[in-house]
């Protein structure tokens, strides 16, 4: 009698929606224990609590990029974050490692605002006015697809995050006089403003218009060419929200993410990455009051973790990153149970043609920061 080797079958995700919160907790904990050192879970600071508590390493984009690069032993890296973050982990890890994103729908709407075709077209349009490879450094915020990172690698450019943008721009301006910064206009503008670049040397590049909607003279005069992209979550914070807290909470300190609009950042006391925000509020003396302008899951957790302080959410409406929220306990439990059974679901793999150049742009960033 011949024997047939059975290929393990994928367990469907729907089954996990029938489990109670306790059962989900148990499933995740059991799978983690069974996989042991073969597995590392990375969790971005915006993850919902039920998922965040299972992360071996937590942090902002820069910290998680570093952690991903350091995990030389684990066979599997589960990234609880959004798609571009898992791509970065895949670029920085070793060939024997596999990166998994529990839900493929966890993207970043800002990252989607710049695509390779529009950026290449912008580069060609710039070439009609000046020599971009001599005069312009392309800088992509880490919130971008791997092919844009590869574009930066090919053209002497670099990646930045919200915590190292200043250092990265110092690096670029030491080499070439102009920067094409995508996709987040606000991080680019807020950072270069603090470096002393005047507003009349920053232009907005609208990819839907010829030459980004700029005259050739404006392009020649510009130091910062800012892509017309933004984060729909941070876009919700307004200067009036800062005024409200200043008027109603004595001694309040306002701390915001640099993806917020210029008018909000200008009114804030402090600005920085998610990790900077957590560190600053956590280290503050008891009794201090904070109004925090970043994603709601993070702010709610800060509130719970700092009962000796007043922590307020800066916006009166709900600002949740709905794509980060796609990573729920059900998807984490599903990815883990499949892995335990030898089935890899939702593997993130950057295409071969982009790997080398995208990694070059990331390595430049890690070296500079
Ligand atoms: P951080 O790098 O500050 O965590 O920011 C990532 C992000 O997507 C913020 O919206
Ligand atoms: Fe993207 Fe904004 Fe969500 Fe950050 S908060 S992942 S920038 S959509």
The CA–CA distances, whole Å, from 164 to 79, 104, 167 equal: 21, 28, 5
Q: Residue 345: CB partners within 8 Å, gap ≥ 6?
A: 10, 100, 334, 335, 338, 339
Q: Which atom belonging to ligand 2 lies closest to the Cα atom of 295?
A: 5
Point out the ligand nearest to the CA of residue 232.
2
Ligand 2 centroid vs 10 CA: distance in angstroms? Answer: 30
Indicate the burial class of 123 (C-beta count within 10 angstroms; 0-12, 13-18, 19 or more): middle
pLDDT of residue 7: 65
Q: Which atom belonging to ligand 2 lies closest to the Cα atom of 46?
A: 5
Ligand 2 centroid vs 110 CA: distance in angstroms? Answer: 6
Q: Which atom belonging to ligand 1 lies closest to the Cα atom of 233?
A: 10
Q: Are 134 and 149 in contact (CB under 8 A)?
A: no
Point out the ligand nearest to the CA of residue 236.
2
Q: What is the mean pLDDT of each run of 10 residues along the chain (369 residues)?
A: 65 96 98 97 97 97 94 95 98 96 98 98 98 98 98 98 98 98 98 98 98 98 98 97 98 98 98 98 98 97 98 93 97 98 97 98 96
Query: Which single residue is written with the structure tokens 């402090």?
Result: 270
Atom 3 in ligand 1: which residue has the minimum CA distance?
A: 273
Query: Which single residue is written with the structure tokens 């990646």?
Result: 159
Q: Alpha-carbon dihedral of residues 208, 209, 211, 216, nearest 10 degrees?
A: -150
| Distance separating alpha carbons of residues 288 and 155, to the nearest angstrom | 47
pLDDT of residue 1: 47
| pTM of the predicted model over 0.85 | yes
Q: Are 146 and 91 in contact (CB under 8 A)?
A: yes
The verdict on the CB of residue 139 being under 6 Å from ligand 2 is no
| Distance separating alpha carbons of residues 24 and 50, to the nearest angstrom | 9
Coil, strand, or helix at residue 287? coil
End-to-end CA distance of the chain: 63
The verdict on the CB of residue 126 being under 6 Å from ligand 2 is no
| Distance separating alpha carbons of residues 223 and 202, to the nearest angstrom | 6
């Amino acid at each position: 009698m011949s024997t047939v080797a059975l290929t393990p079958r994928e367990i469907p995700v729907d089954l996990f929606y029938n489990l109670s919160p306790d059962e989900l907790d148990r499933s995740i904990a059991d799978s983690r224990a069974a996989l042991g050192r073969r597995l590392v879970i990375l969790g971005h600071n915006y993850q919902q609590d039920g998922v965040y508590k299972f992360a071996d390493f937590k942090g902002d984009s820069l910290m998680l990029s570093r952690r991903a690069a350091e995990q030389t032993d684990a066979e599997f890296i589960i990234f609880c974050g959004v798609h571009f973050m898992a791509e970065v982990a895949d670029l920085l890890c070793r060939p024997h490692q596999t990166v998994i994103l529990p839900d493929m729908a966890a993207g970043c709407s800002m990252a989607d605002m710049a695509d390779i075709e529009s950026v290449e077209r912008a580069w060609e349009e710039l070439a009609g006015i000046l020599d971009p490879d001599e005069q312009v450094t392309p800088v992509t915020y880490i919130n971008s697809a791997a092919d844009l990172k590869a574009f930066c690698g090919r053209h002497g450019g670099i990646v930045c995050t919200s915590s190292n943008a200043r250092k990265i721009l110092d690096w670029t301006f030491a080499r070439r006089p102009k920067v094409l910064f995508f996709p987040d206009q606000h991080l680019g503008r807020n950072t270069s403003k603090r470096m002393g670049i005047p507003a009349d040397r920053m232009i907005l590049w609208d990819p839907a218009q010829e030459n980004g909607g700029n005259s050739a003279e404006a392009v020649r005069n510009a130091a910062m060419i800012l892509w017309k992209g933004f984060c729909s979550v941070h876009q919700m914070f307004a200067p009036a929200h800062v005024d409200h807290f200043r008027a109603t909470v004595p001694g309040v300190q306002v701390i915001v993410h640099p993806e917020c609009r210029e008018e909000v950042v200008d009114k804030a006391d402090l600005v920085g990455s998610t990790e900077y925000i957590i560190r600053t509020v956590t280290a503050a003396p008891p009794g201090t009051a904070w109004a925090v302008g970043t994603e709601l899951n993070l702010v709610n957790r800060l509130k719970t973790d700092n009962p000796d302080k007043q922590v307020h959410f800066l916006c009166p409406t709900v600002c949740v990153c709905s794509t980060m929220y796609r990573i729920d306990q059900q998807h984490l439990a599903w990815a883990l149970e499949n892995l335990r059974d030898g089935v890899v679901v939702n593997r993130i793999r950057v295409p071969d043609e982009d790997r080398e150049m995208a990694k070059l742009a990331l390595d430049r960033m890690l070296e500079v920061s």
